[in-house]
Amino acid sequence: MTRRGLLAGGNFIIDHVKLIDAWPEQDMLAFIHSETSSNGGGPYNVLKDLAAMGVGYPLAAAGLVGQDANGDWIMRDCRDTGINTTQLHQTDAAPTSYTDAMTVTGTGRRTFFHQLGTNAILGESHFDFSNTRAKIFHLGYLMLLTEMDRLLPDGRSIASRVLEAAQNAGLHTSVDLVSSNHPQFRQITAASLPFTDFLILNEIEAGNATGLDLKSSPPDLDKIKTAARQLLAQGVRREVIIHFEAGAVVAEKNGAVHHQRSLQLPAGFIAGATGAGDAFAAGYLHGTHEEWPVADRLKLAVCTAAMCLTHPTPSQGLKPVAECLRLADELGFRT
């Protein structure tokens, strides 16, 4: 069977994005300049990004939303976007998950307040890989899926079992994490690595997963590459992709390591940073699906991440692939 398309599972969230003048001190006031509601959560964002990029292959969702107005909105939005919702289930056991994303005007820095809702009870029974013809299964975010993150007596996790089922069905697996201080961050991550073909994460998550301090400015590329190699050694099957503000690094199982600088952005370019990491993932996964060389995947990924920054919501800034790539010629890369 020839596989084509991407199935994305995990967090499906309504994002309430509020643009504020500044981040206040405790007990102080900030002003909201504007607010919008949009898609949120790694899988949802990636699917919406790929649709906006005009990728042309099937896109499908796997997750759990509530039988409420927010859940209905997500279902309708996916269908209107051309995303298959056969495995996007609704339940009355919990409300649809949502996030209040506070974005500071001018800097694009954001802070999140999250209601876990239905994503907390998403589990193994909600995934069925027997009928999908998708080429890639993208799962996210680990650390934000309570039941999927649950560790079993044998050291495995529910997420690792779902990833293994996807691989056994013939799909490549991609995993994304969320930046958190989860007390079992390393154990939860380690449980899924042997069943992950492509691990996509930022430098904070890579540091949490390896115990290395990667939060330096400018970034310490040698340490980031070391972290990528360490995650490969822990079981990732093909590639570890670590992205950060200044660019990205990819370490392959064959020993090759690649580095790509991010775009040089002019003043006033950033309208909001919400979803930029997912836009990076969408660009990289598209290149992976199309079997591009790693260097070309990275170039598209930093371009899609930059394109995402042009709008405060996670996906409305995304444009067709050729238009995203054109940013590299127009803006150039960081020096």
Sheet with 136-142, strands from edge to edge, namely: 84-91, 59-66, 6-10, 136-142, 172-177, 198-202, 239-244, 247-252, 257-261
Residue 1 lies in a domain: no
Task: Quote the pLDDT of residue 65.
Answer: 98
Q: Measure the CA–CA gap between 45 and 71, rounded to whole angstroms.
A: 15
Q: List phi, psi (to 5°) of 183.
A: -65, -20
Beta-carbon-side half-sphere exposure of residue 92 (alpha carbons within 13 Å)? 0
CB count within 10 Å of CB 185 equals 21
Q: What CATH number is attached to the domain comprising 162?
A: 3.40.1190.20
- 3-state SS, residue 133: coil
Q: Which residues contact 257 (CB under 8 A, 6 or more apart)?
A: 225, 228, 229, 249, 250, 251
Which residues, given as ranges, of the chain have pLDDT below 50? none
Residue 127 lies in a domain: yes
Task: Quote the pLDDT of residue 263.
Answer: 98
Residue 23 lies in a domain: yes
Residue 272, exposed/middle/buried by CB under 10 A (0-12, 13-18, 19+)?
Answer: buried
- Model pTM score: 0.93
DSSP state of 71: H
Cα distances from 94 to residues 24, 65, 67, 115, 331, in angstroms, run 32, 8, 8, 11, 45
The residue range of the domain holding 164 is: 6-331
Task: Quote the pLDDT of residue 210.
Answer: 97
Residue 67 lies in a domain: yes
Task: Quote the pLDDT of residue 274.
Answer: 84
Residue 266 lies in a domain: yes
Cα distances from 157 to residues 86, 142, 150, 234, 241, in angstroms, run 25, 10, 5, 15, 22
Is the peptide bond preceding residue 284 cis, with omega within 30 degrees of 0?
no
Q: Measure the CA–CA gap between 103 and 33, rounded to whole angstroms.
A: 10
Task: Quote the pLDDT of residue 109.
Answer: 87
Number of domains in the chain: 1
Residue 150, exposed/middle/buried by CB under 10 A (0-12, 13-18, 19+)?
Answer: middle
pLDDT one-digit tens code per residue, 104-134: 998 888 888 989 999 999 999 999 999 999 9
